[in-house]
Structure 1
Amino acid sequence: MTSTRPETTKQWVLASKPTGEPILSGPDATFKLQTVALPALKDGQILCKVQYFSNDTGLRNFIQSTVAPERFYVPTVPVGSAMRSGIIAEVIESASPKFKTGDSVMDFHLGTWSEFVVLDATNSQALAPLPGGLPLTHFLGAFGASGIAAYTGLYNAGGAKPEHTIVISAAAGATGSMAIQIAVKLLGAKRVIGIAGGAEKCAWVRDYLGAHACVDYKSPTFDEDLKAATPDEVDLYFDNVGGHVLDAMLTRMKKHSTIAVCGAVSSYNSAEPMALKNWFELVSGRITIRGFIMLDYMNEVPAIMQKLIGAAADGTIKLGQNETLVEAGIEEQPGVWMRLFSGGNQGKLITKLIV
């Protein structure tokens, strides 16, 4: 626990908006590391020492998106402002009756890439110990935005049913890996197929997560392999990637089926528009395509979290291999985050901040 109140903190700010892949060094670097003063607390605020950063592909849209800022679902990050992310932190000073020194807190998306951060207590969630010795970091992944997006994408946006054939892309990532386990082990879907990159990740999706099949999108025979894995076609496609994977999936959907869209990571670092040659399949198959975010279902979040925690505690859902934890100093944080775009994670990618 920190004994002396820090007066300053190192903090990454957005230096320029990238048009393609973020640049990590040089004069055109996307982010800049600064030292900034920590203000005195106002009523209702807490000063925290950051312990963990949540690394999410969706943060790419916080710094530059094809969606206009006024139409985006959360406030974006202006140039010159601190880069945001979900965090877990320890309270070291409190001006709120809600928290005391030493408490563990989480903020879904209003934390920043900083060593220390001032938070509004009303936006911060107190973290109690998890059953069975499960690490608190799962509040950033399996029991946080990733797990909640997986659950709501399947049940709420997707209308998943036990008799369905379900395909989930980015199946070895944070949201996809939870969606696979929820579909297989909680819903009991008839057939669950993952899509992941590389034979090793596909084997993990099948053997550890429990998917009935997994298709390697990096394979030159991806389209043929996808067709072979979905002989009865697909009732629900949970899309995290867009691009060619979505285009191929359009040809495998049943009439009156549903596509629940959580993300489009294949296009986040591309300046080129997404091209879909099979778009008319939506009309021919009368397919419903629905975008969603987990914030749509915040009233259901406490109950969903309890379901997921209970399923992990009793062993229904396995989390032992569902997290990639990287120990790093604040100087390394942009590079750790960028591992998401090269497949450098299995399940949730979390930075353990070393100060």
Structure 2
Amino acid sequence: MSDRDDKARVATIFDVARLAGVSHQTVSRVLNDLPNVRPATRARVEQAIKQLRYVPSPAARALVTRRTRTLGLIVTGAPDYGPSSTALHFNEAARDARYSVITASMLETDAPSLRSAAELLVRQNVEAIVLIAAQRAALDALDGVELGVPIIAVASEDRGGMHRVWLDQYGGARLAVEHLIGLGHREIRHVSGPSAAMDAAERIRGWSAALGEHGLPAREPLAGDWSPGSGYVHGRALARDLEATAVFVANDQMALGVMHALAEAGRSVPHDVSVVGFDDIPEAAYFAPPLTTVRQDFDALGRDAMAGVLAVLGDDDRLMPTPTLPELVVRASTGAPIHDRVAVGS
């Protein structure tokens, strides 16, 4: 290793300050893009940083602002497509904003574990915590807990003590059901997610409301667990329900199980039963037939979470993102119903 390489490796904010002929506080102001630094001074500091190949640490950035530019992220529940995608895009948005992220992923959402994780993040001097909450128990666990830093929840339900960003699950479910009603379906079943899941509750609410507005019956939902296996179990029951001409399924993985069970029972999609899913996972376009579904923009949700962080840290709630309405994607799994059905055994 050359002398120059060794110098670059050990360069500190004080080395930069000496080379540029300024104080280390001025260097920190430049690193944090703060005002009140003359252009010529800023240029000298930036040249010194480049010459020394200095890589600023979070502690160096915080010398003036007392900010660490570090965020905490807690992701609860199973590593499903939606939460995982949201976390990924939040991390990208944080990096673009020059923040680092410390992540705690938790399969269980018991209150002691969640509070312990949040307190550990606070001890690592995070400026805010983003909570991606699949189940309402995660919100309940941190609701009213004084951590000393703001919490921004990515959640379908509201808690007064937290800031929130979300996708409109209720509105997305209505889009799915209105599509089926528009095709002429009058007996529309629902395979829901688990009862503890906030997204599942909002999708039930949207399905029921859309049916009610058209004077159509809302039969008891069939509760699944987001997995293809639970969809398959309920699909076998739906295959025997000859009144049902359509089913709205609360996620695409369960829709895959439903469609497999219907095909196994000799029921054609969409000839006998139309199927709509939710999420638009990458595989949905390649189901047999390709799945009509409700597309959620998890990229936007992750960016909204970061925008929410910046709004809260800037003490300006007017900048909090508004909820995004998902998009209906129509494919081959839905069509008009066949009204002249012959009962089995007649």
TM-score normalised by L of structure 2: 0.36
Structure showing the higher helix proportion among its residues: 2
Structure showing the higher strand proportion among its residues: 1
For the pair shown, the structure with the greater C-alpha radius of gyration is: 2
